[in-house]
Copies of this chain bind each other. A is one copy, B any other.
């Protein structure tokens, strides 16, 4: 009983275990006759190799560990998709962990991910400490998406969040807006950068920055708008730059709830250009990040390191561009 092993196949095919191993790995140095015999025996027994045993013996791994900050945010689902594509094409499997945007929980999740000794690790928008990242990077290649790092041992795939926010503000200013608030990403990854870009652009235009503390979720976006409405008397902002699309969606709901029309009363810009933004009924003006492309780039960077083709860090810095849709209008 139990599943058949290589031993069973070998016995049935009348060959050694080593020969079965060679056949399973598609080695060319096996005669056609034996190969056929082995394959037939395997077929009859319903044998398929045990990936973990293989990995242990060969001291290699075909697993990539992926830690996602939040699976509900379509941004990450789309990045994972690109990563998955590259990985699968090169014979790697993904083991996925979600950290729920808490450094402590992400730390635990990362630990459990590493206990599988993956060939490489991709951290998508995570907030684990830089120290934890450094430690992890000593064990196997690490690539960060939507999170920057100065570590020379990790690769990164990011857009220029500062420039992205600036473009958003410039767009609003060009429409005549002056009171432009930012719903920020709090302690989320890349949030500081986007905040800085917003700040800089505002000052450049001689405007007063107003930052409302928020988070990368729809719930937080709605809450931030409610706070903003409660706090500001009649000096209500005429435009909002949200932390990301997911946050903007919440903001949109809260604005509607307060009887404010978008874009007639308030203009709104998101960030990421997720599938959400493209929904015709949201039609969110947003800053584009090429999500699956970023996933593919991350996968490729990781696999290059895994194969030992490169040791110097790679820093993909994508240039953000504004996608103007229906949530922004002249003042």
Contact = CB atoms under 8 A, between A and B. Distances in A.
A282 interface: yes
Given A52-B116, A88-B109, 10 more contacts: A3-B139, A46-B135, A52-B52, A53-B56, A63-B95, A77-B77, A93-B112, A249-B279, A276-B279, A279-B281
Contacts of A139: 3
A50 B115 contact: yes
Contact of A50 (B3, B50, B95, B117): B117
Interface string A105-128: 000010111111100000000000
A52 B48 contact: no
Contact of A72 (B3, B77, B96): B77
B114 A98 contact: no
A3 B139 CA distance: 7
Contacts of A132: none
A227 interface: no
* Interface residue tally on A, bucketed by range: 35 or more
A256 B281 contact: yes
A80 interface: yes
Given A52-B52, A252-B281, A282-B279, A93 B116 contact: yes
A49 B253 contact: no
Contacts of A48: 111, 114-115
Given A72-B275, A94-B96, A281-B281, A115 B81 contact: no
A139 B52 CA distance: 16
16 contacts: A3-B139, A51-B112, A51-B115, A52-B116, A71-B84, A81-B98, A95-B95, A96-B96, A252-B280, A253-B280, A253-B281, A256-B280, A256-B281, A276-B279, A279-B282, A282-B282
